């Protein structure tokens, strides 16, 4: 139990640290004229890294979510085979919603990469 609390706290600190970096202000105020003058070539590596990490985390989370949803549905069907028809529909709807979130992350990653390239 103590290990679980420590891991939860460290995960919370990690998430809070990443959000602080994401919202940090650069040295000068950000405006559109500086971006067009400087170009996006300086930020290409960071944008590509963000897109890759974003889709990787989305795929990992989607895979875990779909696996848990399917396992729960199969467990319910194994316990009560007569309820298979009632379980299958909501399970497929849940899997579609999980997959739509992963596709949404893919679209955002592609928009980031195509904005640079």
Does the pLDDT at position 5 exceed 90?
A: no
Rounded to an integer, what distance in angstroms lies between the CA atom of residue 15 and that of residue 8?
11
Q: Nearest-CA neighbor of 60 among 52, 49, 72?
A: 52
Handedness of CA 16, 18, 23, 24 (dihedral sign): positive
Given pLDDT bands bounded at 50, 70 and 90, which one contains residue 62? Answer: very high
pLDDT tens for each residue of 39-50: 555 677 788 888
**Distance between CA 116 and CA 35 in Å, rounded?**
12
81 vs 71, 72, 87, 93, 96, CA distance in Å?
15, 13, 10, 20, 23
The Cα–Cα gap between 74 and 60 comes to 21
Query: How does pLDDT run across 72-89, given as a tens digit for each residue?
Result: 999 999 999 999 999 999
Q: Is the pLDDT of residue 115 over 80?
A: no
CATH number of 2-116: 1.20.20.10
- Give the pLDDT of residue 86: 92
Q: What's the pLDDT at 112?
A: 83
pLDDT for res 46:
81
The helix-helix angle for 44-79 and 84-116 (nearest 10°) equals 180
Q: How confident is the model at residue 30 (pLDDT cuts 50, 70, 90)?
A: low
Q: What is the pTM of this model?
A: 0.58
Task: Count Cβ atoms within 10 A of the Cβ of residue 109 and give its class: 0-12 exposed, 13-18 middle, 19 or more buried.
Answer: buried
């Amino acid at each position: 139990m103590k290990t679980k609390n420590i891991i939860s706290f460290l995960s919370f600190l990690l998430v809070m640290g990443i959000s602080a970096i994401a919202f940090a202000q650069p040295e000068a105020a950000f405006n559109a004229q500086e971006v067009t003058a400087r170009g996006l070539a300086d930020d290409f590596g960071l944008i590509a890294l963000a897109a890759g990490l974003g889709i990787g985390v989305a795929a990992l989370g989607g895979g875990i979510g779909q696996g848990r949803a399917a396992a729960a549905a199969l467990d319910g069907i194994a316990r009560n085979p007569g309820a298979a028809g009632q379980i299958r529909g909501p399970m497929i709807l849940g899997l579609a919603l999980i997959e739509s979130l992963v596709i949404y992350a893919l679209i955002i990653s592609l928009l980031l990469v195509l904005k640079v390239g």
